[in-house]
Amino acid sequence: MWTPGRMSNAKSWLGLGMSLYFWGLMDLTTTVLSGTPTPPGKLEALLPDKPQSHLRIKRSWVWNQFFVLEEYTGTDPLYVGKLHSDMDRGDGSIKYILSGEGAGVVFTIDDTTGDIHAIQRLDREERAQYTLRAQALDRRTGRPMEPESEFIIKIQDINDNEPKFLDGPYVATVPEMSPVGTSVIQVTATDADDPTYGNSARVVYSILQGQPYFSVDSKTGVIRTALMNMDREAKEYYEVIIQAKDMGGQLGGLAGTTTVNITLSDVNDNPPRFPQKHYQMSVLESAPVSSTVGRVFAKDLDEGINAEMKYTIVDGDGADAFDINTDPNFQVGIITVKKPLSFESKKSYTLKVEGANPHLEMRFLNLGPFQDTTTVHISVEDVDEPPIFEPGFYFVEVPEDVAIGTTIQIISAKDPDVTNNSIRYSIDRSSDPGRFFYVDITTGALMTARPLDREEFSWHNITVLAMEMNNPSQVGSVSVTIKVLDVNDNAPEFPRFYEAFVCENAKAGQLIQTVSAVDQDDPHNGQHFHYSLAPEAANNPNFTVRDNQDNTARILTRRSGFRQQEQSVFYLPILIADSGQPVLSSTGTLTIQVCSCDDDGQVLSCSPEAYMLPVSLSRGALIAILACIFVLLVHIFKTKGIKQHSTQKWTDTKAI
Which residues, other chains included, contact 634 with Cβ-Cβ below 8 Å and sequence gap of 6+? Answer: none
- As a three-state string, the secondary structure of 308-377 is CCEEEEEECCCCCCEEEEEECCCCEEEEEECCCCCCCCCCEEEEEEEEECCCCCHHHHHHCCCEEEEEEE
pLDDT at 611: 33
Amino acid at 286: S
Give the confidence band of 112 by pLDDT, cuts at 50, 70, 90: confident
Give the confidence band of 417 by pLDDT, cuts at 50, 70, 90: low
Give the confidence band of 19 by pLDDT, cuts at 50, 70, 90: very low
The domain in which residue 366 lies consists of 272-382
Give the confidence band of 408 by pLDDT, cuts at 50, 70, 90: very high
- Answer positive or negative: Cα dihedral of 338, 339, 340, 342: negative
The answer as to whether 612 is a domain residue is no
Tell whether 208 and 232 lie within a shared domain. yes
The answer as to whether 614 is a domain residue is no
Q: How far is CA 290 from CA 280, 308, 346, 561, in A?
A: 19, 23, 19, 79
Tell whether 354 and 407 lie within a shared domain. no
Q: What is the pLDDT of residues 173-214, one digit of tens each?
A: 999 999 999 999 999 999 887 787 778 888 999 999 999 999
Rounded distance between C-alpha atoms, residue 290 and residue 364, angstroms: 37
pLDDT at 365: 58
Which one is predicted more confidently, 12 or 171?
Answer: 171
Q: Is the pLDDT of residue 114 over 90?
A: no
Q: What's the N-to-C CA distance of the chain in angstroms?
A: 156
Q: Exposed, middle or buried, 615 (CB in 10 Å: 0-12/13-18/19+)?
A: exposed
Rounded distance between C-alpha atoms, residue 139 and residue 142, angstroms: 5
Domain count, the chain: 5
The answer as to whether 216 is a domain residue is yes
Write the CATH number for 243.
2.60.40.60
Give the confidence band of 323 by pLDDT, cuts at 50, 70, 90: very high
Tell whether 459 and 321 lie within a shared domain. no
Tell whether 351 and 295 lie within a shared domain. yes
The answer as to whether 257 is a domain residue is yes
pLDDT at 77: 87
Contact 216, 207 (CB under 8 A): yes
Tell whether 533 and 569 lie within a shared domain. yes
pLDDT at 53: 37
Rounded distance between C-alpha atoms, residue 118 and residue 79, angstroms: 6
Instruction: Please say which residue of 485, 513, 530 terminates a domain.
Output: 485
Q: Is the pLDDT of residue 545 over 80?
A: yes
Report the share of the chain in percent with pLDDT over 70.
Answer: 82
Instruction: Please say which residue of 92, 124, 156 terminates a domain.
Output: 156
Tell whether 304 and 405 lie within a shared domain. no
Q: Is the pLDDT of residue 135 over 70?
A: yes
Which one is predicted more confidently, 104 or 613?
Answer: 104
Tell whether 471 and 509 lie within a shared domain. no
**Whole-prediction pTM:** 0.42
Rounded distance between C-alpha atoms, residue 375 and residue 349, angstroms: 10
Q: Please choose, from the candidates 170, 173, 208, the residue with its C-alpha nearest in 3D space to the C-alpha of residue 189.
A: 170
Instruction: Please say which residue of 265, 280, 308 terminates a domain.
Output: 265
Q: Is the pLDDT of residue 402 over 70?
A: yes
Q: Is the pLDDT of residue 10 over 50?
A: no
Question: What are φ and ψ of residue 385, in 5° steps?
Answer: 55, 65
pLDDT at 640: 55
The answer as to whether 622 is a domain residue is no
Report the share of the chain in percent with pLDDT over 90.
Answer: 46
Tell whether 537 and 572 lie within a shared domain. yes
Length of the chain: 656
The answer as to whether 490 is a domain residue is no
Tell whether 378 and 476 lie within a shared domain. no
The answer as to whether 642 is a domain residue is no
Point out the least confidently predicted range of 60-64, 89-93, 214-218, 345-349: 60-64
Tell whether 405 and 455 lie within a shared domain. yes
Mean of pLDDT over the chain? 81
What are the b/e assignments for 505-529, b being 16+ CB within 10 Å?
ebeeeeebbebbbebebeeeeebbb
Q: Which residues pair with 499 in a beta bridge?
A: 591
The answer as to whether 332 is a domain residue is yes
Residue 224 burial (CB count, 10 A): 17
Q: What is the pLDDT of residues 261-307, one digit of tens each?
A: 999 998 888 889 999 999 999 999 889 999 999 999 999 998 888 88
Tell whether 324 and 344 lie within a shared domain. yes
pLDDT at 258: 96
pLDDT at 73: 73
Q: Is the pLDDT of residue 93 over 90?
A: no
Rounded distance between C-alpha atoms, residue 168 and residue 191, angstroms: 15
How many helices (DSSP H) and strands (DSSP E) are in the chain? 1, 41
Tell whether 323 and 252 lie within a shared domain. no
